[in-house]
Amino acid sequence: MSVNKVTLVGNLGKDPVVRKFDNGRAVAQFSLATNEKYKDKTGNQVTKTEWHNIVMWSPLAEIAERFLKKGTQVYLEGKIESRDYTDKDGIQRRTTEIVVRDMTLLGAPQSSGGGYGDVPPPSEPAYGGGSVGKVSDVPSDLVPSGEDDLPF
């Protein structure tokens, strides 16, 4: 038996880039920052930021396009995937990504509108099995406390 499951709570490092294909599917890609705080040997508080490459396929890609912006805090569940590709200079590269299966928006939206608009209520399933705006599904020990730890 094997398990490939990732759970992340973090903040978007940039707005999602969404590409749409002829067959109607869409893919959203963005970076996500997660922070770890600890004290070093001298007692100084250290914050370590880890960056993750995130990929969402339809229908979550459409949700990302509409509601996610740089700085938005999200709870994501998915799996780790690595893939090879050839860059624009013809060099073979390998990347590791988190392919998201479920997403929950956390915190307040970054716009001045004060709400997420026409997002389904937390009691209704959102697109693709993800829930939107339902903080109660996130274990309390995974929700960052207090101050904004974004490095930008």
Question: 93 vs 12, 28, 83, 87, 125, CA distance in Å?
Answer: 24, 20, 8, 7, 37
Quick one: tokens of 89? Answer: 């200079």
In this prediction, residue 37 carries a pLDDT of 94
Percent of the chain with pLDDT strictly greater than 70: 70
Structural domains of the chain ordered from first start: 6-142 (2.40.50.140)
pLDDT in tens, 22-53: 999 999 999 999 999 999 999 999 999 999 99
In this prediction, residue 107 carries a pLDDT of 72
CB proximity list for 56: less than 8 A, separation 6 or greater = 16, 27, 28, 29, 63, 64, 99, 100, 103
Q: What share of the chain is helix, strand, coil (3-state, %, to 5)?
A: 10, 45, 45
- pLDDT-based confidence at residue 16 (cuts at 50, 70, 90): very high
List phi, psi (to 5°) of 12.
-65, 135
In this prediction, residue 126 carries a pLDDT of 41
Mean pLDDT computed over 132-140: 42
Who wins on pLDDT, 151 or 132? 151
pLDDT of 113 higher than 80:
no
In this prediction, residue 149 carries a pLDDT of 52
d(CA 51, CA 35): 9
Global pTM reads 0.69
